[in-house]
Amino acid sequence: MPLNENPVWFITGCSTGFGRELARLVLERGWRAVVTARDAGRVQDLANGYEDRVLALSLDVTRQDEIAAAVQQTERRFGAIDVLVNNAGYGYQTSIEEGDDAEIRAQFETNVFGLAAMTRAVLPGMRARRRGHIVNISSQAGFIGYEGSGYYAATKHAVEGLSDSLSREVAPLGIKVTCVEPGPFRTDWAGRSLHQRHPQIDDYRETVGARLEATAGYSGKQPGDPVRAAAAIIKAVEAESPPKHLVLGSIALEGIRNKLKETLTEIEAWAETSRGADYPENER
């Protein structure tokens, strides 16, 4: 592994889904892990049999004091954080017009501001050691704005932009950044981590309403395997030249490819108009 032979992984949101499966694989490989959830009792079982290599902590990423305490406890126990996986987050689906302000802000607090706060907390140690890897769990929605997922997509677009900028800032310091874009995976995300507000406005029932119903009904039938996804994340971190963007699942791969092709086609179609917005050569 490029980081060191016995890395310390700090993973947020380990009570279910990607975070839990990733923690299991990390521990099975003999590495050390800090596993977190808002209630540490929900992740304590991950330490069974690995007590000397696991630190299970309560962590709400919207609380700066809890972030600072968790990082300090980790450094006291293991000496460093080699890999930070910003996995904590949830979905909120509704039409843009019917979005609830408190729900929107709460989602940004976790998905964006909590992720950024965790990143800021670990960067001083990574900079001092001139090594480290930050893995930000985004979504295919970080590229594609689906109907009914506008506010969730906005948080994931923010994660994409932050990750791209961070990668440029820390690459000269020996720190890697990977943004992970999963499609539908067979976790309990729809059951536990998805808040839906079904449209009350008739004009949105056939677009937003239909997508919300399809999302909820898809739970347990998604093609993505969270264990294989966790293995793919580890493979990326172990790579000599890790990807800045890791798309997971065939649905996400096809959807993101199509989105990028459509975007490039549209940009090229309007290229003359784009260039025409500059001052003429003789006036520069």
Residue 156 bears catalytic tag: yes
Marked catalytic residue, from 15, 50, 92, 138: 138
- CA dist 179 and 279 (Å) reads 37
pLDDT for 190: 54
Q: Name the percent of the chain in helix, strand, coil, to the closest 5.
A: 55, 15, 30
| Residue 189 domain-assigned (yes or no) | yes
| Residue 42 domain-assigned (yes or no) | yes
| Residue 47 domain-assigned (yes or no) | yes
Q: 243, 138 in Cβ contact below 8 A? A: no
State pLDDT tens for residues 2-22. 566 899 999 999 998 899 999
State pLDDT tens for residues 83-116. 999 999 999 999 999 999 999 999 999 999 999 9
State pLDDT tens for residues 176-213. 999 999 998 877 655 556 788 899 999 999 999 999 88
pLDDT band at 217 (very low <50, low <70, confident <90, very high): low
- CA dist 98 and 100 (Å) reads 6
What's the token pair of residue 110?
A: 């976790």
Marked catalytic residue, from 50, 92, 151, 152: 152
State pLDDT tens for residues 236-251. 999 999 999 999 999 9
Task: Please indicate whether residue 234 or residue 189 has the higher confidence score (pLDDT).
Answer: 234
C-alpha dihedral, 18 to 19 to 24 to 26, nearest 10°: 100
Task: Please indicate whether residue 100 or residue 1 has the higher confidence score (pLDDT).
Answer: 100
Mean pLDDT of the chain: 93
User: Residue range 25-46: average pLDDT?
Assistant: 95
Marked catalytic residue, from 15, 95, 139, 156: 156
What are the backbone dihedrals phi and psi of residue 145, each rounded to the nearest 5 degrees, phi first?
A: -95, 95
pLDDT for 218: 67
pLDDT for 251: 95
| Residue 82 domain-assigned (yes or no) | yes
Residue 138 bears catalytic tag: yes
pLDDT score of 221 more than 90: no
pLDDT score of 271 more than 50: yes
pLDDT for 283: 84
User: Residue range 42-51: average pLDDT?
Assistant: 93
Q: Which of 64-73, 192-201, 217-226, 267-276 has the lowest mean pLDDT?
A: 217-226
pLDDT band at 1 (very low <50, low <70, confident <90, very high): very low
pTM of the model: 0.94
pLDDT band at 214 (very low <50, low <70, confident <90, very high): confident
| Residue 265 domain-assigned (yes or no) | yes
| Residue 283 domain-assigned (yes or no) | no
For residue 141, the tally of other CB atoms under 10 A from its CB is: 24
CATH number at residue 28: 3.40.50.720
Count of structural domains, the chain: 1
Residue 259 bears catalytic tag: no
User: Residue range 217-224: average pLDDT?
Assistant: 72
| Residue 215 domain-assigned (yes or no) | yes
What are the strands, taking DSSP E only, across 129-260? 132-137, 175-182, 194-196, 245-248
189: domain range?
A: 8-276
Angle between helices 150-170 and 101-108 (to 10 degrees): 20
| Residue 18 domain-assigned (yes or no) | yes
